[in-house]
Structure formats: C-alpha cells, structure tokens
Chain A
Amino acid sequence: MIEVVNLTKSFGDLQVLKGIDLTIEQGEKVVIIGPSGSGKSTLLRCLNCMEDPTSGQVLYHGVDLTDMKVDINEQRQNIGMVFQHFNLFNNMTVLDNITLAPVLTQKKKMRKLQRSSKKFGKTDAELKSSAQIKADAKENALKLLERIGLSDKADAYPSQLSGGQKQRVAIVRSLAMNPDVMLFDEPTSALDPEMVGEVLDVMKDLATSGMTMVVVTHEMGFAREVGDRVLFMDDGKILEQGTPDAVFNHPKNSRLQEFLSKVL
C-alpha cells in the first residue's frame, strides 16, 4: 500500500534520512522505535509529504506522492496523521474540528460532480445538498465522539480538554475522513502518565478494527502488543526490523541492543 524507495531527506547540510526502503501492507501495524534525533518523525512526515523528500519515492497505492503533478491534498485526505501536540484547531469547537475537513472536501467533490453532470448531462452519482453534507458529517462526528466517550464535549473548545481528551479527539478527527492508513508521531509523549492509557486504548481499538497504522512511539509495551513489525532506526537508517518478538527478545544489531538496554 505504501512503498518507500531509496528515500533521503536533508535539512540544509544535515542529512537526516540516508536511504530508506520500506513497504507497508494493507492492515499492517508498523511501529518505529529509535533514539532521539534518529529521523523517526522525519520519515513519518515524508510518508504524507509534510516534509518533501530530498530524493527517492513515496508510492501510495502506486501513486508517487513526491511527484509535483500529484494533488497532494487529495492524497492526504486518505492518510490520517496524529501529532505529539495534537494540533487541534483552537478556534473551533470539538465538533467543528471533526467536521471541518469532511464537509469542505465533500462540498468540493459535489461541486465537481455538478459541473461534470452539467457538461455530460448525466447524474448517476447522488448529488448531496450542502445542508445534507453538514448533517451527515455531524452525525458521523457524534458517533465517533461516542465511541471515545466524549459525546458531552462536542461543543467544548480544545482549551477546555485534558491532554488525553485532546489526543482522542485528534484521532477521531482524522478518522472522520475515513482514511485507509493512520500515521502517529509519538501520540502519548506529551501526555501526563495517567492519560497515556486512554489514548493507547483508542489506538488498540483502532488496530483491532483493521486499520493500517504506522506508529512512532517510545511505548515499548504498545509496540509489543499491537505491532506486526517493529523498525529500529538510528542515524537516518533502518538498522533492524522484524516481529516484536524478534526485535525485543533477540536483537541482532549492537546499537539496537544498546538502545533496548536503556529503554526496557
């Protein structure tokens, strides 16, 4: 589903990614671990071109996202991303945070459909009114909020939520777009310890539902439990990868061994 081919990324003179090759299958849960500064976030952000790769390719369902002719916004609608610092829209309520992007993209699609149906004189696809789009998005958002037990926060602003609640909202905000892969960049690192669990629970739930997930994390317990494959990165390269059992219990690379002795 995602194929990374010989990816490099430099910030000025600093080469952060030094040739990454990686294939992620539909439904796979990939966990990325590694020391600070090893390039984990950068790799993740290259997967949806939040950072433009310096060289190499990122193929998503065969479409090269690094190609300037590809409409990156359209592609990103299918790739959810969750950040360490949540990045909820501070000027909007929880509900509006969740419905904003679905409503805008749906409306755009409808406008396109309308134009083409006028041109070709056929309306085989169902045309939704903008009120209908909004109503549907709201209904879906409320369902998602119920799923994470935050229905009563629909009209709250992000500043009124705890860190754990913010991150759960951020996750369902991405889900509202019906993405087929979700990227997580240290989703629990900015949280107070007592809130980590509630966020990991939502993520586990998501994993069970079959979502394809790429997760950068320091939560080794989560990596073991949920990961199908664990990647160890250091110095801009993937040094070792395998099942959680292989990586955690039988590490081969000496730097991985050293890293694990520090974090476990």
Chain B
Amino acid sequence: MGSFARKFQKFIELFQGSSADAYISEILTGLQNTAKIAVVGLLIGIVIGTLIATVRVLPKYKKLPKVLNGICSVYVGFFRGTPMVVQLLLFYFVALPLMGVNIPSVTVACIVFGMNSGAYISEIMRSGILSVDPGQMEGGRAMGLSFGTTMIKIVIPQAVKNILPTLGNEFITLVKETSIVSFIGATDLYVAFRKIGTATYEFMIPYLVMAVIYIVLVLVISLLVKLMERSLRKSDRGR
C-alpha cells in the first residue's frame, strides 16, 4: 500500500513539474480526439445505417432494390465480419496509399469508425423501422407523399425514438473502441497516458486514471441518453 501511495505521489508531482503543461495538453488532445472520432463516427454511422436500413425495407418487387440489397449485404458482412483494428489498418495502410491520397489519421479514424458503426446501426435502424406501425407509411403515402419523404418525416423519427437506448449503447461502444486509433498513429487517451508512463517508468497510476476517465465518459453519455429519451417520450404521453 505504501508503494501505491508513493506512485500516486509521483504521478501528482508530474503535474506540478516543468513539463506538466505538455502532459495536460496531450491528455486533452487525446480526449478531444476520442470525442471527435466517436461523435463524427456516430453521425456518419447514422447516415450510412439509415440509408442501408431504408434499402433493406424497400419493397422488393423491382430490380434496383435487389441490386442495392446485394451491395448492402456485402458491406454489412465485411464491417461486421472483421475486427475494427483490421479495418483501420486496411484503410490507412492499404486503401489510402493505393488511391495515392494522404489524410490525417484522426480523419481516417472518423471515416472508418463511421463506416463500421454504419453497418451495426443499419441493423438497429432496420428493427427500429420495422417496429413502426405500417399504418404510418400508409398514412403518408395516401396523402400523396413519396416513399422517401414519408420515411424521413414520419417513419424514421419514430424509429429513432424506439432505438435511442440501443443507439446510445452503440455510441458508448464507439467511445471505448477509440482506444485502437493509436494503431494508425493518432493520439488518444491511451497514447497520452502511455507517454506519461514511459516518462516516469510507472504505468500503474496513469492507466488507472485512464480507466476512470473512460468510466466517467460512459456514465455521462448514459445519463445524456436517458435525458434525451425522456424528452422524446413527450410526444407519446404529452404534458
């Protein structure tokens, strides 16, 4: 126990020393990147997921939906069937060099996280859309609104409400998964705390603090999702 206290002391001292600012800014950068990748990833994921889910609930009697369906199946199969680290590495070290483009690693992480979560969200969204009473679509179509308009204005808002808790979980997963972006050289919380550990030859406290930060993040997000759910439920009960 005494050694734990000593280690903690050392960790605190680090933040009083001359290079404290550098460490703090490193942690903040990590935190910022985690937030950025998770949020942007989720937004891209929602867009891709909604598009795929919409294709999947399209009436099947025409040719185009069949082709689109095939494409979506391959997409979802790939992103759900391989680890995200692999997708990240493939994209950063294979796809981009082959295309001859150079994009900052954080941006790459945003894109890959978005494409990955799009595959998962498509399944969530599909079940959300199917949970909406088909009468809602009929009501819209009978008024002369197109399939797309009815989907956007009426069905998807109700679907989103139904799946909000699940979407919240997906966001939490994304936040936690950001700890892999160091594989392509982006700074995240792990990189920041590893640096601190390396500087002090002491990893116990830095990684413990890192874990606490992750837990706090997840708790805060859970709380926000709950609040959002409650305000959305207003249209059910009124008042």
Contacts and interface: CB of A to CB of B under 8 A. Distances in A.
A146 to B, nearest CB: 21
Nearest to A176: B143
Interface string A67-88: 0000001111111110101111
Interface string B130-165: 000101101111111110010001100110010000
A177 interface: yes
A174 B143 contact: yes
A160 B238 contact: yes
Interface stretch (A53-61, A98-106, A196-204): A98-106
A73 B237 contact: no
Contacts of B235: 90-92, 157, 159
A185 to B, nearest CB: 10
Contacts of B238: 156-157, 159-160
B229 to A, nearest CB: 14
The interface size bin for chain B is: 20 to 34
Contact of A48 (B142, B161, B237): B142
Contacts of A75: 144
A105 B135 contact: no
Contacts of A104: 145, 149, 153
Given A89-B154, A91-B157, A157-B238, A83 B143 contact: no
Contacts of A91: 154, 157-158, 161, 235
B144 A90 contact: no
A76 B142 CA distance: 6
Interface string A28-46: 0000000000000000000
A105 B136 contact: no
B136 A101 contact: no
A50 B140 CA distance: 11
Nearest to A156: B238
A173 interface: yes
Interface residues of A, number: 31
Given A159-B236, A159-B237, A160-B238, A89 B141 contact: no
Interface in A116-166: 156-157, 159-160
Contacts of A77: 143-144
A61 B140 CA distance: 23
Contacts of A79: 142
Chain B CB within 10 Å, residue with most, of A74, A81, A83, A87: A87
A73 B144 CA distance: 4
B54 to A, nearest CB: 17
Interface in B50-66: none
B144 A74 contact: yes
B236 A101 contact: no
A87 to B, nearest CB: 3
Nearest to B232: A91
Contacts of A50: 138, 141-142
15 contacts: A73-B146, A76-B142, A76-B144, A78-B144, A81-B142, A87-B139, A89-B136, A89-B140, A89-B153, A90-B136, A90-B236, A92-B235, A100-B143, A157-B235, A160-B238
Interface of B: 133, 135-136, 138-146, 149, 153-154, 157-158, 161, 235-238
Interface of A: 48, 50, 73-81, 83, 85-92, 100-101, 104-105, 156-157, 159-160, 173-174, 177
Given A81-B142, A104-B145, 8 more contacts: A50-B138, A50-B142, A79-B142, A91-B158, A92-B154, A100-B143, A157-B236, A159-B235
